[in-house]
Structure 1
Amino acid sequence: MTIDIRVDDLTHPATQALAAIHLAGMHAGTPAESVHALDLDGLRHPSVTLWSAWIDDQIAGIGALKRLDDERGELKSFRTAETHLGRGVARAVLRHIIAEARTRGMASLWLETGSDAAFAPARGLYASEGFVECGPFDDYVLDPLSAFMTRTL
């Protein structure tokens, strides 16, 4: 199995659909004030680069990197398509973005994700790739529904 990871401009309907599924999923079980996922306009912001992962011409996942400043980036909008769960898509996208952040001269990566059991697999993935828990960063505030992590590059 080959995973093709590419910069995505969000013009492909499959990418738009997966981004919409991600956003809807975040709103399904979380109060609006605790949802920090980006909508399509947010993913198109100049500070954000989105990558999509494809397997056999089917979208398998997405992940984004938001530049916070010259030295820091934030991971955003990680989602694996239901049909590709458990196939290493999220890890491949994460490693790709870590490598790209290094290429861009970033010194650290940051993320916010959910703190409840539904987000345990995501937190486990991030921890297995060197991310550690931290406090809120930038405009985030302490929220019992949020977990914050960071990694030095």
Structure 2
Amino acid sequence: MLIRQDDLSGPEIAALLEAHLDLMRSISPPESVHALDLEALRAPEVTFWTVWDGAVLLGCGALKELDPAHGEIKSMHTAAAARGKGVARRLVAHILAEARARGYRRLSLETGSTEDFAPARGLYAGFGFTSCEPFADYRLDPFSAFMTLELAPARVG
């Protein structure tokens, strides 16, 4: 598996993001879908990565800077054929390392609160994320679960 920063220009990533948005819209009410579309992921405060196995796109994820000490995980998605192969785990570890390297003190995320999102919540909890109140521009929503992780500074040397 190769993780690389992506410029969001390839047709494969456009298709994967469309599948991600379609899935989110199918399992959450419209007002509770907080997934970013292709254009929103091109914002300067967002860094986007893709995961590849050769020429096969396995998944994606992003890190959005909320402020110089706080980042947010966005747009985590694993292609249906690649689920259960550790793609998301590798990507979360990569995003955590990047957040620490940037000096963030906190990393947060919003995911769904329904059973469909139980695997995602379990993944994040496995990395030490815990439930929190809404952050940034989010509001309380029965379909949203908010999680956060306090980060220790990256070790030098």
Scaled by the length of structure 1, the TM-score of the pair is 0.97
State the Cα deviation string for residues 64-92 of structure 1 (Å, max 9, x = none).
00000000000000000111111000000
After TM superposition, give the deviation of residue 56 of structure 1 in Å: 2.4
CA distance in 2, matches of 1:69, 1:37: 19
SS in 2 for 1:76: strand
| Structure 2 counterpart of 1:103 | 101
SS in 2 for 1:135: coil
CA distance in 2, matches of 1:29, 1:130: 26
CA distance in 2, matches of 1:118, 1:106: 30
Pairing partner for 1:22 from 8, 20, 23: 20
Number of equivalenced pairs: 151
State the Cα deviation string for residues 41-68 of structure 1 (Å, max 9, x = none).
1111111011000012200000000000
Structure 1 unmatched runs, 5+? none
Identity level (%): 56
| Structure 2 counterpart of 1:68 | 66
After TM superposition, give the deviation of residue 30 of structure 1 in Å: 1.3
SS in 2 for 1:106: coil
2:21·2:37 contact (CA, 8 Å) conserved in 1?
Answer: yes
CA distance in 2, matches of 1:49, 1:20: 18
After TM superposition, give the deviation of residue 15 of structure 1 in Å: 1.0
2:46·2:64 contact (CA, 8 Å) conserved in 1?
Answer: yes
Q: Runs (4+) of structure 1 moved beyond 4 Å? A: none
Letter in 1 for 2:48: L
CA distance in 2, matches of 1:149, 1:16: 27
SS in 2 for 1:68: strand
RMSD: 0.7
Letter in 1 for 2:10: H
CA distance in 1, matches of 2:97, 2:111: 21
